[in-house]
C-alpha cells in the first residue's frame, strides 16, 4: 500500500524545503513518541523526564494524539511554519466544521476524547482556548528546553539536501530524503502510511518538512484539500541531550569557545554558515589543507559551534544555533 502524489510542471517549481522546524508538527510528533517505546536510544531519557512532569491537562491532551493511526489535522495548521504563536493563533481560529469533522473521525477510530472533547467539537470558545493554553504549556515544558537541538538538526538536514540536483530534475530533492520517499517523475510515492491513495497537487506545490520527533515513516495530512505537506524523519546521529532541561535557546559559552576567537576559525565559521560545507570545500575555500580544515572544524564542533554528519563519502559541517548567533554578532559589530 502506498500514497502517490502527482506533480504538474508548476508543482515542481513550488517544492519547498522547510526553513525551520514547525513547532506544531513537532509537538504532535513528540506526543506520539511519549506514548510508545520507539526510538529509545534517541528519545529514552527525554521521554522519561517529560512523562514524569506531565500535568493532568497535558495527559488529557495526549488523547488527541494517539501513537498509531489518525490525529486531527487541525493540530498542525500550515501557519505553524511561522512559529508557535502563529500556529496556536491559527489553531484558535479553526472553523467549527473542521473541529467537528476531525474529532468525529478520531472518535470513530475508537479513541477516547478528553473531557472537553465534545465542547471542542462544538466550537466552544473556552474549550478551544483551553486547547491552545494546554498546547502552549506542553511545548514550553517538553520541547522548548531542547529546541536549539531540534533547530540544529534541521539546519544540518537542509544543508544536506537543499543543493540543486545535478541532473536538473527539480523533483530530485525528494529522492534522497528517506527510504520511504520514492521519486519517479512526476510522482512521489510514500510508503509506510497504510493507505492506498492518489493525490493530485494541481499547482499547489508541496512543503517538505523534516521532523525531529517523526519516527520511522513519513506522514501527511489526511484531508487532501489542506495545504500539501510531507513530513519525514530527520536523521539522528546522537541522542536528545537532556543534561540541562532548564536551558532554553543557546548554551552558555565555555572555555572551549574562547579558543575560537581567532581569524582562521572565524573564517571557517563564515564559510560553513553559507549553506554548509564539506571538509574538502572548506579546504578549497580557505586555502588550507584538508587536514588543517578538518582540525579546525573539529575544534569548532567540540565547542558547540558546528554540527557534522556524514553525507555519502564526505563530512558535511553546518553551524549550530550558537555558531550562527556568534557569527551574526560578529557581523553586526563590523557593520
- Same domain? 265 vs 329: yes
Task: Indicate whether 250 belongs to any domain.
Answer: no
**277 within 8 A of 316, measured Cβ to Cβ:** yes
Q: Find, among 198, 196, 220, the residue nearest to 1 by Cα.
A: 196
Same domain, 125 and 45: yes
The helix (H) or strand (E) run that includes residue 195 is: none
* CA geometry: angle 314, 315, 319, nearest 5 deg: 145
Count how many domains the chain has.
Answer: 3
Cell digits of residue 327: 557569527
Same domain? 161 vs 217: yes
Chain-wide mean pLDDT for the chain?
A: 86
Same domain, 119 and 134: yes
Tell me what pLDDT residue 255 has: 46
Tens of pLDDT along 33-84?
999 999 988 999 999 999 999 999 999 999 999 999 999 999 999 999 999 9
User: For residue 242, is it within any domain?
Assistant: no
Same domain, 30 and 136: yes
Confidence class of residue 251 from pLDDT cuts 50, 70 and 90? very low
What is the rounded average pLDDT of the residues 311-322? Answer: 77
Choice between 140 and 284, residue whose per-residue pLDDT is larger: 140
Given the C-alpha cell 574562547, which residue does it identify?
A: 258
Pick the last residue of a domain from 147, 182, 204.
147
Before 45, cis peptide (omega within 30)? no
> Residue 253 in contact with residue 215, Cβ under 8 Å?
no
Say whether both 175 and 116 belong to one domain: no
Domain that holds residue 120: 23-147
Say if 276 falls within a structural domain: yes
Cα 89 from Cα 136, distance rounded (Å): 11
Domain match, 133 and 84 both: yes
Quick one: the chain helix, strand, coil %, rounded to 5? Answer: 50, 15, 35
**Residue 9 shares a structural domain with residue 32:** no
Task: Write out pLDDT tens, residues 256-271.
Answer: 444 555 777 888 887 7
User: Sorting pLDDT into bands at 50, 70 and 90, what band is 195?
Assistant: confident
Within a domain: 206: yes
| Residue 335 buriedness (CB in 10 A; 0-12 / 13-18 / 19+) | exposed
pLDDT of residue 106: 96
Is residue 50 domain-resident?
Answer: yes
Query: What are the grid coordinates assigned to 119, written together?
Result: 465542547
Taking 60 as the threshold, does the pLDDT of residue 334 lie above it? no
Beta strands in the chain (DSSP E): 2-6, 15-17, 181-184, 187-191, 197-200, 206-211, 219-220, 229-233, 277-278, 306-311, 314-319
CA distance 44 to 242: 10
Provide the percentage of residues in the chain whose pLDDT is more than 70.
87
- The residue out of 79, 112, 147 marking a domain boundary is 147
Domain C-terminal end among 147, 166, 184: 147
Q: Are residues 128 and 268 in the same domain?
A: no
What pLDDT, on the 0 to 100 scale, is given for residue 163?
Answer: 63
Question: What's CA 133's distance to the chain center, in Å?
Answer: 22
Region at 201 (left for phi over 0; alpha for psi -120 to 50; beta for the rest): alpha
Residues 163 and 276 in one domain: no
Q: What is the pLDDT of residue 248?
A: 39
Q: Which residue has the cell 506522514?
A: 219
The predicted pLDDT at position 94 comes to 97
165 band by pLDDT with thresholds 50, 70 and 90? low
- What is the rounded CA–CA span in Å between residue 286 and residue 263? 11
Per-residue pLDDT, 120 = 97
CATH code for the domain of 312? 1.10.10.10
Establish if 243 belongs to a structural domain.
no
Number of residues written out for the chain? 335
Residue 245 domain flag = no
- Looking at the fold, whether 33 and 137 belong to one and the same domain comes out as yes
Q: Is residue 66 part of a domain?
A: yes
Q: Are residues 138 and 49 in the same domain?
A: yes
The per-type count for the chain, helices as H runs and strands as E runs, is 14, 11
Amino acid at each position: 500500500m502506498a500514497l502517490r502524489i502527482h506533480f504538474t510542471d508548476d508543482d515542481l517549481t513550488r517544492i519547498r524545503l522547510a526553513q525551520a522546524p514547525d513547532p506544531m508538527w513537532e509537538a504532535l510528533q513528540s506526543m506520539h513518541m511519549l506514548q510508545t517505546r520507539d526510538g529509545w536510544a534517541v528519545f529514552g531519557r527525554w521521554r522519561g523526564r517529560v512523562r514524569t512532569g506531565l500535568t493532568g491537562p497535558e495527559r488529557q491532551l495526549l488523547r488527541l494524539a494517539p501513537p498509531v493511526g489518525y490525529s486531527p489535522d487541525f493540530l498542525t495548521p500550515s501557519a505553524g511554519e511561522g512559529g508557535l504563536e502563529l500556529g496556536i493563533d491559527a489553531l484558535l481560529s479553526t472553523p467549527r466544521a473542521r473541529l467537528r469533522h476531525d474529532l468525529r473521525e478520531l472518535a470513530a477510530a475508537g479513541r477516547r476524547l478528553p473531557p472537553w472533547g465534545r465542547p471542542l467539537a462544538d466550537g466552544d470558545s473556552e474549550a478551544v482556548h483551553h486547547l491552545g493554553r494546554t498546547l502552549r504549556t506542553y511545548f514550553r515544558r517538553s520541547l522548548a528546553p531542547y529546541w536549539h537541538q531540534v533547530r540544529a538538526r534541521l539546519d544540518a538536514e537542509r544543508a544536506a539536501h537543499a543543493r540543486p540536483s545535478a541532473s536538473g530534475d527539480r523533483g530530485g530533492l525528494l529522492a534522497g530524503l528517506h527510504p520511504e520517499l520514492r521519486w519517479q517523475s512526476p510522482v512521489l510515492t510514500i510508503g509506510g502510511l497504510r493507505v492506498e491513495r492518489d493525490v493530485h497537487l494541481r499547482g499547489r506545490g508541496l512543503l517538505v518538512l523534516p521532523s525531529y520527533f517523526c519516527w520511522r515513516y513519513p506522514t501527511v495530512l489526511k484531508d487532501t484539500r489542506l495545504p500539501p505537506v510531507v513530513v519525514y524523519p530527520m536523521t539522528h546521529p546522537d541522542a536528545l541531550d537532556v543534561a540541562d532541561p532548564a536551558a532554553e535557546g543557546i548554551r552558555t559559552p565555555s572555555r572551549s569557545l574562547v579558543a575560537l576567537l581567532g581569524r582562521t576559525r572565524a573564517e571557517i565559521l563564515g564559510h560553513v554558515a553559507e549553506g554548509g560545507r564539506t571538509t574538502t570545500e572548506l579546504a578549497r575555500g580557505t586555502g588550507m589543507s584538508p587536514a588543517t580544515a578538518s582540525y579546525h572544524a573539529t575544534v569548532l564542533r567540540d565547542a558547540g559551534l558546528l554540527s557534522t554528519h556524514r553525507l555519502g563519502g564526505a563530512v558535511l559541517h553546518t553551524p549550530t544555533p550558537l555558531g550562527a548567533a556568534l557569527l551574526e554578532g560578529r557581523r553586526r559589530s563590523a557593520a
